[in-house]
Amino acid sequence: MAALTQTAASVAPSSGAKRETRFNFGATISAGQPIYLDSSNTWQLADADVAAGAADVQAVAGNSGSAGQRCDAILEDSDFTHGLSGVAAGDTIWLYSTAGTYTKTASDVVTGFYTSVVMIATSPTKAVLRITRSGVAHA
């Protein structure tokens, strides 16, 4: 399975989402993409197959923006509208090996990838966003 397709315009955090709004984007990022805070305190795209820092997904972008613009980072959300295609209720959404993307197939998390569950779908359009980072490369 390849990376899931995401439509940024369809991403919407709920009113109860836990957010972090103090830091800026460090690159061009679209709403819904998985992100991490780098050593310069800017949000970058998370990626499961690189060094542990970039694989340390910490949030999902709640808005789109370019480097230097303010990011509405979503840390947790029990009713997150994810904007992903091909998702069904009960699917586990993992950080994928292409920066800023997800997969729903555990077998895509292969040897050397840093395993992180980002959300679990509650319907084709909604999910519980609660990031679980292992900090360990898959053996």
pTM greater than 0.85: yes
Mean pLDDT of the 33-48 span: 94
For residue 62, give every residue at least 6 positions away whose Cβ sits within 8 Å of its Cβ, in sequence order, or none. Answer: 11, 13, 17, 19, 31, 71, 72, 73, 74
Q: Tell me the per-residue pLDDT of 59-75, one tens digit each, with 9 for 90 and over.
A: 999 999 999 999 999 99
Q: What confidence score (pLDDT) does residue 82 get?
A: 98
Mean pLDDT of the 33-58 span: 86
Q: What confidence score (pLDDT) does residue 110 get?
A: 64
Straight-line distance from the first to the last Cα atom of the chain, in angstroms, rounded to the nearest whole number? 20
Residue 107 three-state SS: helix
Q: Tell me the per-residue pLDDT of 94-126, one tens digit each, with 9 for 90 and over.
A: 998 889 999 997 656 666 777 789 999 999 999
Q: What confidence score (pLDDT) does residue 125 get?
A: 98
High-pLDDT (> 90) share of the chain, %: 71
What is the residue extent of each domain of the chain? Answer: 8-134
Residue 113 three-state SS: coil
Distances (CA, A) of 19 to 6, 14, 52, 58, 114: 21, 10, 23, 11, 24
Q: Hey, what amino acid is at 73?
A: A
